């Protein structure tokens, strides 16, 4: 039997794991942030218009004659889900009202939010005029510019107590919306609407 020789000569160098540069990774991740995020005013106006069209009458929302204790735990769950679906735009405006109340009662937070929103608006105007923002030799799209403003605003928000305000708004919203959704008898309202619809058909 003949033997076959295979040449295995050469330099073998072990692979040395490269240390990751956290700054380079953060920059790469920031560059992948979408550049064409539609933050323009028409999009916001359209979204607000849709919410306003879906809002239920406030007289119905605050109608105390429909306040009833839920008969059982199963019925409570179904009632909360039905109320959230039916009054979702109203609940959104309740949340916005609590946010505005929190901003009005916290002047430093209000100034920080206005400064951040003003910086975003100035970037929007510069973008509209065709002016570009260059960071480290790279032109940043508008979405990344907004992201940069948000990142720079975080330390300021922390210093003026935005975390505490955020928790207060979240807690107050969950409490108020949860109480309304749990005790508002949506079945009576929907039944009255169905009866009215049947009468109109006849």
**Number of CB atoms found within 10 A of residue 140's CB:** 21
Give the pLDDT of residue 112.
Answer: 92
Determine the Cα–Cα distance for residues 18 and 126; give it in Å rounded to an integer.
Answer: 41
Phi, psi angle pair for 39, to nearest 5°: -95, 10
Give the pLDDT of residue 136.
Answer: 72
Whether residue 198 has pLDDT greater than 70? no
pLDDT, average across residues 69-86: 88
pLDDT by residue (tens digit) across 30-52? Answer: 444 444 444 445 776 777 777 77
Determine the Cα–Cα distance for residues 91 and 112; give it in Å rounded to an integer.
Answer: 26
Give the pLDDT of residue 139.
Answer: 75
Whether residue 23 has pLDDT greater than 70? no
Residue spans of the domains in the chain: they are 70-201
Helix H or strand E encompassing 177: helix 162-183
Determine the Cα–Cα distance for residues 142 and 122; give it in Å rounded to an integer.
Answer: 11
What is this structure's pTM?
0.64
Q: What letter does residue 138 receive in the DSSP assignment?
A: E
**Among the listed ranges 33-47, 87-101, 134-148, which one has the minimum average pLDDT value?**
33-47
Whether residue 199 has pLDDT greater than 50? no
Residue 162 · residue 55 · CB < 8 Å: no
């Amino acid at each position: 039997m003949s033997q076959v020789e295979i040449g295995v000569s050469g330099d073998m160098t072990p692979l040395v794991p490269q240390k990751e540069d956290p700054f380079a990774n953060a920059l790469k991740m920031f560059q992948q942030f979408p550049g064409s995020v539609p933050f323009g005013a028409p999009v916001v106006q359209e979204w607000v218009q849709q919410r306003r069209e879906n809002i239920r009458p406030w007289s119905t929302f605050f109608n105390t004659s429909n306040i009833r204790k839920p008969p059982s735990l199963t019925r409570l769950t179904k009632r909360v889900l039905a109320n959230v679906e039916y009054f979702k735009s109203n609940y959104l405006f309740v949340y916005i009202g609590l946010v505005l109340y929190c901003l009005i009662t916290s002047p430093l937070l209000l100034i920080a939010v206005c400064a951040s929103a003003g910086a975003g608006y100035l970037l929007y105007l510069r973008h509209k005029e065709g002016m570009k923002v260059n960071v480290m030799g790279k032109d940043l799209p508008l979405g990344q510019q907004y992201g940069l403003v948000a990142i720079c605003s975080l330390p300021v928000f922390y210093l003026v107590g935005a975390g505490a305000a955020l928790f207060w708004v979240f807690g107050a919203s969950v409490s108020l919306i949860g109480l309304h959704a749990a005790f508002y008898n949506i079945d009576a309202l929907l039944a009255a609407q169905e009866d009215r619809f049947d009468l109109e058909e006849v």
